[in-house]
Amino acid sequence: MSEISINSERELIINAQNGCISSFEQLIRQIDKKMLSVAAGLAATHDEAEDIYQEAMLTAYKALPKFKMESLFSTWLYRIVVNTAISSRRKLRNKINSLIFGHSQGKSFTENGNKESGVESYENVTAGDESDEPDAVMINQQLSFAISQSLETLSEKERIAFVLCHQQEIKMIDAAKIMQCSDGAIKNYLFRARQKMQVALKDYI
């Protein structure tokens, strides 16, 4: 599908701001897979990623009348997805803390929760199709799980920077706009993220 021209995008935005749902849907259709992929990279499970995506799109539609076209629509939408993911993770942490303090067992719910999060949180790594050899499928599954777990070792901003710049291949200058920070800060987040992931994935490198 061809990209929407700047003039056409501007017209669609104006129509959507005036309440045209089909114009909003056309805007989203061009980049929905990228937005869902970002949500998947920042979520713990596939279901959470879907929830983040849906909530972000609803937030974007409601906030669209306030969009002043001072940045690219995609940059604005990325920011909403990222902020929604951050909010989702914080709600999850609060829920986990509530459960922990509500039960006096000595088990680490967070640790168990991370183990349950599984492969689906980093979907770009394939688990192999049915035609793959069993050993290859198992190795891909193990690697996918290891990457998912290594992402959990990153701080919130490190993970966002890693997902945007490496998974989505967004330029650092554009990632900085999405995260509303300096280019230098993005470089630092990426440097620390790479270091942590190298340690976490040392057995696969």
What CA–CA distance (Å, rounded) separates 33 from 63? 21
Evaluate whether 1-106 and 127-205 have a shared fold: no
The whole-angstrom distance between residue 162's C-alpha and the CA centroid of its chain comes to: 10
pLDDT recorded at residue 202: 77
pLDDT recorded at residue 140: 57
Helices (H), the chain: 6-17, 21-29, 32-42, 46-63, 73-102, 109-117, 134-151, 156-162, 172-179, 183-200
What CA–CA distance (Å, rounded) separates 37 from 48? 12
Consecutive sets of 10 residues in the chain, 205 residues long: mean pLDDT of each? 65 93 92 92 87 94 92 93 87 59 41 35 37 52 70 90 90 94 94 88 68
**Nearest-CA neighbor of 48 among 140, 137, 148?**
148
The CA distances from residue 139 to 61, 68, 129, 132, 134, in Å, are 41, 48, 13, 11, 9
For the segment(s) 127-205, the CATH number from 1.25.40.10, 1.10.10.10, 1.10.3470.10, 3.40.50.720 is: 1.10.10.10
What CA–CA distance (Å, rounded) separates 20 from 23? 6
Asked whether the CA dihedral 195, 200, 203, 205 is positive or negative, the reply is negative
What CA–CA distance (Å, rounded) separates 96 from 102? 10
**Nearest-CA neighbor of 122 among 205, 177, 29, 197?**
197
What CA–CA distance (Å, rounded) separates 148 from 145? 5
What CA–CA distance (Å, rounded) separates 32 from 53? 9
The CA distances from residue 97 to 36, 64, 101, 157, in Å, are 27, 34, 6, 21
Left, alpha or beta for 203 (phi > 0: left; psi -120 to 50: alpha)? alpha
pLDDT recorded at residue 159: 92
* CATH code, 1-106: 1.10.1740.10
pLDDT recorded at residue 197: 85
What CA–CA distance (Å, rounded) separates 153 from 198? 11
pLDDT recorded at residue 48: 87
pLDDT recorded at residue 116: 36
Q: Where are the domains of the chain?
A: 1-106, 127-205
